Amino acid sequence: MCKRFMILISLGMTIFVGCSSENTNTSENPQDPLHSEIASPQTTPRELAIRTVNLFIAEEYNELYNSIEEDTQLYLGVYEFVDTCKAITEALGTHIENESFIENFDYPNSYTIVEIYENGRLVLDIAISENGNIDSIFANVIPLTEKLIDNDIFFEQEVTVGSEENLPLGATLTIPKNIDYPPVVILVQGSGSTDRNESVFMNTPFLDIAHGLAEQGIASIRYDKRYFVYPEEAEILEENLTLREEVLDDVNSIVQLLLNEQQVNSSQIYIAGHSLGGMLAPAIAYENPEIAGILSLAGSPRPLYEISYDQNQMSMEYMLANDPEMYDTLADVFTWVENDIEILRGNFDGMANDSVLLGIYAGYQKSAKQYAGENFVHLIDIPMFIAQGDADFQVSVDKDFVAWQNVLENKENVTYKIYEGLNHLLMPTTGLMSIEDYTVKNNVSPELISDMANFIHSHKQIVE
């Protein structure tokens, strides 16, 4: 079993600790395992997975942490782990029942369990080690399904997108009413396996943006990412997975779909990328000359691993602040992180794809270097809108917003704006510099959405 340790939450996604598998290529187990007594003896991997779920539901987070393999614990402190668990539970509300328990037969001793809470579904992907401990645990919160909207201002349509015919992806096309051929925005998510609304806890940034833009006469399309719908496909590629499969190919296919969509202005297609999506926006525009402009929302021109490095530093500082005695334990981690970032900043093209750098396969990191925005901004000449919240602890104003200004200093068609008090989700912050900030139900800033609309309208062309 591989060891790709996720030290931090990814951009726009909450992840626990463990290896790379998010596999759900599964077979349904007809027995409902929940909810057995935590104290009862467990011997089989299946029973240990059940115990893991029950510990989470019972909010026994310290005991849950103690059940994780020791080498995995080195990369995630107990305080950060417990705080993450608490944040997820508080956002979900009251636990109701188990929905499903699935054994992943093509990945030894791994299980996918779905629990229903009052505010959404909790999906736990758990792998049990040969020692009978937790080898990996991933958590994803999925809000309850929302219906398509059809009101006096706009309507929504379900459409199918995707670059692979055998991997269709669901998407929502939002069209303003009483407007002929509106400009259209493709919403591109941050990293991780996220749905079309880019749901994080109970917050839905892309739903907010889509509806807000529609109210101002702009259409949009948002889609479920490939590995949100088909997580087993990521496991098949494993060390050969890149940003092309994760993002680029599917977005390129959406551009082609919109070029033939009669309800929108096909000469006014914009890319609005959040976080990783913002980082990739220049590469997307380069590959699609039809793009009229790009909007980077809490993105960066730097490679993704540079942001990961910054987050790792912050994570370790957080752990030490809560428990100074962890310094000796973390010393090896500090060395490991510094060695990896030195390799990433050099030429590592010859490194085997299954090597691991900063917890991610080298094959993926190569694509992060290849498709970084800084490599493409000088190859495109279209309007750009760069937006950043000053309360964002994942992508920083000091490093990332300034990096945009530096790489774009000779370009005239760029609009910059920093938003006071907005976090990484482009929502008002609670002041907490952790993922707990995202557990409070909120909405994307109306000011930001209006600025996006004004940017797009200022470059709008009339359909001939």
User: What's the pLDDT tens digit per position in 242-262?
Assistant: 999 999 999 999 999 999 999
Q: What is the mean pLDDT of the chain?
A: 87
Residues 313 and 295 in one domain: no
Task: Record the tokens describing residue 461, joined without a space.
Answer: 């062309």
Read off the pLDDT band of 42 (50, 70, 90).
Answer: low
The DSSP result for 146-171, as a single string, is: -PPPB-SSEEEEEEEE-SSTTS-EEE
Q: Which residue, 143, 165, 182, sits at the end of a domain? A: 143
Q: Whole domain around residue 182: which residue ranges?
A: 154-302+372-458
Give the CA diameter of the chain.
Answer: 73
Whether residue 398 is contained in a domain is answered as yes
Contact criterion met (CB below 8 Å) for 220 and 209: yes
How many domains does the structure of the chain reveal?
3
Give 366 or 228, the one with higher predicted confidence.
366
What is the rounded average pLDDT of the residues 199-220? 95
Residues 297 and 412 in one domain: yes
What is the domain-level CATH number for residue 95?
Answer: 3.10.450
What is the rounded average pLDDT of the residues 46-69? 93
Whether residue 445 is contained in a domain is answered as yes
User: Of 148, 265, 164, 239, which Cα lies nearest the Cα of 196?
Assistant: 148
- Beta-bridge mates of residue 416: 386
pTM for this prediction: 0.82
Whether residue 170 is contained in a domain is answered as yes
Residues 288 and 362 in one domain: no
What is the domain-level CATH number for residue 418?
Answer: 3.40.50.1820
Residues 234 and 288 in one domain: yes
Residues 218 and 204 in one domain: yes
Task: Indicate if the pLDDT at residue 271 is higher than 90.
Answer: yes
Identify whether 35 is preceded by a cis peptide bond (ω within 30 of 0).
yes
**DSSP letter assigned to residue 364:** H
Residues 275 and 397 in one domain: yes
Give the orientation angle of helix 446-458 with respect to helix 205-214, to 10 degrees.
50
Residues 182 and 275 in one domain: yes
Residues 258 and 388 in one domain: yes
Contact criterion met (CB below 8 Å) for 423 and 393: yes
Which alpha helices (H) appear in 27-169, and where do they start and end?
45-57, 61-66, 70-73, 78-92
